[in-house]
Structure 1
Amino acid sequence: MSERTTSSSWALGIVQALEMGGVDCQAIFPELGLDYAALQDPDARFAQDAMTRLWQRAVQLSGNPAIGLNMAKVVRPASFHVVGYALMSSRTLREGLTRLVRYQRIIAEGADLSFRPTADGYELILAIHGDRLPPARQSAEASLAYALAFCRWLTGKPIRPQRVLLQGEPPADPEPFRQVFQAPLQFNAAHYALLFERTDMEMPLPTANESLAQLHDRFAGDYLARFSESRVTHQARQVLCRLLPQGEPKRETVAQALLLSQRTLQRRLQEEGTSYQQLLDDTRRELAEQYLAQPNLTLLEVSYLLGFADPSNFFRAFRRWFGMTPGEYRAAL
């Protein structure tokens, strides 16, 4: 499987948050096969699963399951790579968070963000994906805590969300969460999200600068293009997501869409540590998680959206992925 990666700038923020919590990252990096010096290289990237192991080890060593919330204390635009500066020069937080969604993969590929208007405000939704390891909840909690702290830092205002949605059981001690978010908390939620007031999202930012915003857009766009071109896996995954609702896409069709021969596609995927079959399976598994979280979709509809002509094949695949039926999975949600 092609490894998702995290930018060194985001990894450095995580390390600062962990060190603030008394974890000696310099000592545990070698033990996890990570290069501590690479944190200072702006072009270095760290494997997603290695970051998951870092979170797990940090919780173990510190005895603090809420250690991810320390990210709220290490706010600096550079943690978001070039994207942080693009956010700063945006006219409003709404425009800034729209940019954050657009360039998210530069910061970390294991996260998917979406930002959408609600009846009375805006919702920033976060999904974290693991590679071979399920993602650490601390990673998602850190991302939300950081995003909110960054909004407060940018505006100079004590922004309080309408609500904070967190997946997973409520912690034994919710106090650190109350202190960081200063908003109503909802645990066991269907997804991670910050719900913002409309007025907070639409007030002008003191750091707004239209010409700088365009410059940073160009930098971020170039970086993303360079980064994506080097990863056929991501391009193939996008094509698969588009084609799956029409039935299981053939390798030949995906290769044609990418203007590659079948052989070149297979070779490039192999170089990135995956195969066509593996990528198809991974993409279906990820989409299945997303679709089942949407209560308005029936299991039959989910099966067809994932390109299974026969629902029984979907049920078999699902049991292989998650060790339970789609119905049991949805009930657990």
Structure 2
Amino acid sequence: MKTWDFCRSVTSVQILVALGVEYGAKQSALLLNTGLNQQSLNNPETVVEASDEMAVIRNLQRELPELAGLGLYAGERYHLSAYGIWGFALASSPTVRKAVELSQTYQELTFVFSGFVVEEARDSACLVFDNSDVPADVALFSIEREIHAAMVIMREIVGQQLGEEWVTFKHARPAHSDLYERFFRGRVEFSASKNALMFPRSVLDEPRVVGNGATASLLDKQCSELIAKRTARKGISGKVRDILLRQRPMTMDMEMVAESLCMTSRTLRRKLDAESTSFRQLVDEIRMTLAEEMLTGTRLSVEQIAERLCYADASSFSQAYKRMSGQTPGTLRKHGRGP
């Protein structure tokens, strides 16, 4: 499995499609060979495979061959607010160091293809990105997007203390190098030993006025749980989850899913049991994931969320949520909701 091969929310594809349409590409062309359509693109509950997002990137490059630096243009659109719980966790961190640690620990809640690690020296710290296992045709786009997006996030977390950035790229100076000077405010190097975003080490331990340790700890836990629920299952349970997530799960029943898999519900039940799970358990897990994303990432009321998840009413939803998570929807929203 490639390091970047993890499921992600639909937000990144929305950003990429919006970029392409803005520059004249057709949405249908950008979604070609992805399995995504207008309905899934507009549905905040959609979970996207990494391969589908990569297909969108390839489509974007094919449709806009004259627009150099596509990765740079994309990167400037990845603000903290685009990342759901991960973004809220970073924004709530009491120090920059805690935010950076969280960002590295929960990379599977981001949209990166070039994974990163944190390195510290005497006076500087840096985020080092590795795009060595990214397919060659999207490697440049990936590293441009990832480092630019990281810079955008660091500016939002650190503020004016960040000063001028120092970024280095392993690839040779491209023909569109003037765009790097435009998007990055400080020193830019090419043909370097690593792909990195460097900044003063001193900012790591400065307290953040808007940070909150208790909220950050709660969101840290939520990030861990969300990754566990998004982790693709193997075998038949993975196929069931894919069907449920792509086709508005709360309107489907076991018989419909079994039919989609060309088997009887009895056979499906037996196969799921062999994988130590059940249809009800999978539905409950998906409901919890969607509920948490809507509670922390949207302004939908508890009543509206209950309706979307096909509970009889808000009370039934609240009771089920508390039974499965140990807390009420109101408690999660109070501590985990972003601005």
TM-score, normalised via structure 1 length: 0.61
Contact conserved, 1:163 with 1:183, CA < 8 A, in 2? yes
1:217 paired residue number: 220
Contact conserved, 2:68 with 2:176, CA < 8 A, in 1? no
Q: Offset of 1:145 from its aligned partner?
A: 0.7
Relative to structure 1, the CA distance from residue 99 to residue 51 in structure 2 (aligned partners, 3 Å threshold; closer, same or farther) is same
Relative to structure 1, the CA distance from residue 161 to residue 103 in structure 2 (aligned partners, 3 Å threshold; closer, same or farther) is farther
Q: Which whole-Å deviations, capped at 9, do the CAs of 1:179-217 have from their partners, x for residues lacking one?
A: 211121122233321011123333333421112111211
Distance 2:210 2:14 in 1: 24
Residue correspondence of structure 1 range 80-99 to structure 2 within 5 A: 80-99=83-102
Contact conserved, 2:30 with 2:59, CA < 8 A, in 1? no
Contact conserved, 2:128 with 2:197, CA < 8 A, in 1? yes
2:185 paired residue number: 182
Q: Offset of 1:87 from its aligned partner?
A: 0.3
Q: Which whole-Å deviations, capped at 9, do the CAs of 1:27-71 have from their partners, x for residues lacking one?
A: 223423341433344443333343333323323433122122123
Q: Which whole-Å deviations, capped at 9, do the CAs of 1:279-312 have from their partners, x for residues lacking one?
A: xxxxxxxxxxxxxxxxxxxxxxxxxxxxxxxxxx
Relative to structure 1, the CA distance from residue 41 to residue 168 in structure 2 (aligned partners, 3 Å threshold; closer, same or farther) is same
Distance 1:109 1:146 in 2: 10
Distance 2:192 2:150 in 1: 18
Residue correspondence of structure 1 range 1-333 to structure 2 within 5 A: 4-20=6-22, 22-24=23-25, 26-36=27-37, 37-62=39-64, 63-108=66-111, 110-128=113-131, 135-157=138-160, 159-228=162-231, 230=233
Contact conserved, 2:34 with 2:53, CA < 8 A, in 1? no
Q: Offset of 1:158 from its aligned partner?
A: 7.2
Distance 1:229 1:38 in 2: 19
Relative to structure 1, the CA distance from residue 190 to residue 71 in structure 2 (aligned partners, 3 Å threshold; closer, same or farther) is same
Q: Offset of 1:121 from its aligned partner?
A: 1.2
Relative to structure 1, the CA distance from residue 150 to residue 217 in structure 2 (aligned partners, 3 Å threshold; closer, same or farther) is same
Aligned amino acid, residue 120 of structure 1:
D
> Share of identical aligned residues, percent?
18
Contact conserved, 2:6 with 2:231, CA < 8 A, in 1? no
Distance 2:234 2:164 in 1: 36
Contact conserved, 2:165 with 2:185, CA < 8 A, in 1? no
Distance 1:94 1:109 in 2: 20
Q: Offset of 1:162 from its aligned partner?
A: 4.9
Aligned amino acid, residue 86 of structure 1:
A
Q: Offset of 1:172 from its aligned partner?
A: 0.8
- Quote the RMSD (CA, aligned, Å): 3.0
Contact conserved, 2:129 with 2:143, CA < 8 A, in 1? yes
Relative to structure 1, the CA distance from residue 227 to residue 72 in structure 2 (aligned partners, 3 Å threshold; closer, same or farther) is closer
1:283 paired residue number: none
Contact conserved, 1:49 with 1:132, CA < 8 A, in 2? no
Distance 2:90 2:127 in 1: 15
1:243 paired residue number: none
Contact conserved, 2:79 with 2:152, CA < 8 A, in 1? no
Relative to structure 1, the CA distance from residue 97 to residue 42 in structure 2 (aligned partners, 3 Å threshold; closer, same or farther) is farther
SS at match of 1:196: strand
Distance 2:135 2:76 in 1: 30
Distance 2:35 2:194 in 1: 30
Aligned amino acid, residue 28 of structure 1:
A
Q: Offset of 1:140 from its aligned partner?
A: 1.8
Q: Offset of 1:91 from its aligned partner?
A: 1.4
How many residue pairs match? The answer is 234
Q: Offset of 1:136 from its aligned partner?
A: 3.0
Contact conserved, 2:20 with 2:30, CA < 8 A, in 1? no
Contact conserved, 1:4 with 1:110, CA < 8 A, in 2? no
